[in-house]
Amino acid sequence: MMSYANLNYLLRDHKNGFYFVIWGVGGRERKLCRTLSLLDVPVKYFINTDEKNECKEIYGIPVCTVYDLLYEKEQQKMQILCFGRGENTICLLESVGIDVVRQLKDAEFYQPAVHNDVSFLLDPILGYVKPSYYKGICGLSGYGIEDAEITIVTLGGSTTDDMQWSIKSWSQILQERAVKEGKSVRIICAGVAGYNIYQELNQLIRDVLVLDPDIVIDYSGANQCGNGVLEGYPNIHDYQKMLFERLRVANKSSFYIGNLVSEVNYGAKSKGTLFDNYQLMTDIMYSICKNWGIAFVSYFQPVLAYKDKFAPDEKEKILNSGTIPLKKNKVYNQYKQFQADYEKSEKREYQTNLSHLFDDKNVYFTDVHVIEEGNQILADAIWKDLKSRRVIL
């Protein structure tokens, strides 16, 4: 069954006028239809791709063929829900002119900005890394020409990661903005979903310095608190913990490395606050970059919890997000404390506070992720800041 979050996204699209077509007529598809019915979300029809199956209707809902999609008058408002985005499905839909990226949604992982099926690679230092390569280095993607005058590397978590969603990342938009202003800029996006500041630091040391960038931008803060952080160990993200716990369990039953692997070690327990740790890591990143002659800028990112006022439909969005309800809870309080600690800390010259960037905008679709319009606003703000710092002339 779809998770809470994914059902929530689907409901949001339903509210925004999208209608749904289910691809397939099997047990899972019928269960999905029943689930949507319980949520008062109608299904327009099923698509039957099995010529031998003469099913004409399911639960009173018509069963059509893929060619019936050709006659859809409002294709741009249609969402096709499909389990697993198999090659055959995609080929068939493309053959009838359906914009697959915008309209085909994997029913199990339904996301408003088409969440892409990303399978991460294991990494002994970072835990895992996204499966994209730039200049032979895994976890990176590039925008712009290789011999551009200025090379910028962007670091961060899922709000920077350009593989998670089908919308343009702020890294890509920033590069386009630079080109529009006549600058020769190449941007290498090193953002990976779930990365916290400690992984970004390690990425900088191992994978970024070799690229010889002119500027390193770190856009972070969201993964330093909330549900992402292992209590007492702010440099361990929950995804890493999940990964290693599974490896530990798998080790017991499936492979043998002698006595080397029996438990998981998370290192020294942190003594300071979440913010103290964050500040320490960014200071180290700044020192490393300075030592290498690289300009370093750190942006303290905005999250939904930092907003004091919400637009009327935003309140409902927050309530349904399930992650930070309007009622105060532990996660919400952690974020607020983190922000308060940042704002009262001694400011570093390399830092810029963007935590209020979206205060009067309605761009969030989760507690931290924003729609493409949000990425546009962010890229604009970063561009202006880089110019005011004279990092870009």
Partner 1 sequence: MELFQVQPVLLQYRTILVYGTDQGSIYICEEMRKKGIIPTAYLQEEAIHQIDSDIPVWDKNQIEDISAACVVFPFWNKKIFEDIGKMGLKHIFVYGTFYQTNLILENEMKDISVLPFFQINEEVKKRDIVIYGVGEVGHRLFMELLNYEVRVKYFCDSNADFIGLKLMNKPILSMEDLKRRKDSCNVIIGSVDYADEIEKQLLENGIENIYQYNG
The residue among 349, 216, 194 whose CA lies nearest residue 285 is: 216
Site track for partner 1 across 46-85, x = CB under 8 A: ----------------------------------------
Of the two residues 27 and 136, which places its CB atom closer to partner 1 in the complex? 27
Q: Among residues 49, 95, 329, 333, which is the contact residue for partner 1, using CB under 8 A?
A: 329
Say how many Å lie between the first and final Cα of the chain, rounded: 52
Of the two residues 41 and 294, which places its CB atom closer to partner 1 in the complex? 41
State how far the Cα of 22 lies from the Cα of 31, in Å rounded to an integer: 11
Q: List helix spans (H) across 212-351.
A: 238-253, 274-291, 312-321, 330-344
Of the two residues 38 and 268, which places its CB atom closer to partner 1 in the complex? 38
Of the two residues 32 and 201, which places its CB atom closer to partner 1 in the complex? 32
State how far the Cα of 136 lies from the Cα of 232, in Å rounded to an integer: 36
Contact call for residue 35 and partner 1 (CB under 8 A): yes
Of the two residues 314 and 341, which places its CB atom closer to partner 1 in the complex? 314
Query: By rule CB under 8 A, what count of residues binds partner 1?
Result: 25
294: Cβ contacts below 8 Å, ≥ 6 apart: 209, 213, 214, 215, 216
**Tokens representing 342?**
């940042």
- The answer to whether the CB of 250 falls within 8 A of the CB of 257 is no
**Tokens representing 181?**
């202003």
Nearest approach, Cβ of 265 to partner 1 (angstroms)? 24
Contact call for residue 362 and partner 1 (CB under 8 A): no
Contact call for residue 319 and partner 1 (CB under 8 A): yes
Q: Among residues 75, 251, 320, 353, which is the contact residue for partner 1, using CB under 8 A?
A: 320
Nearest approach, Cβ of 316 to partner 1 (angstroms)? 5
Site track for partner 1 across 8-27, x = CB under 8 A: x--x--xx-----------x
State how far the Cα of 218 lies from the Cα of 372, in Å rounded to an integer: 19
- The answer to whether the CB of 69 falls within 8 A of the CB of 47 is yes
Of the two residues 27 and 258, which places its CB atom closer to partner 1 in the complex? 27
Q: Among residues 115, 244, 325, 381, which is the contact residue for partner 1, using CB under 8 A?
A: 325
List for the chain the helix, strand, coil content (%; round to 5). 40, 20, 40
Q: What are the residues binding partner 1 (CB under 8 A)?
A: 1, 4, 7-8, 11, 14-15, 27-28, 31, 34-35, 38-41, 315-316, 319-320, 322, 325-327, 329
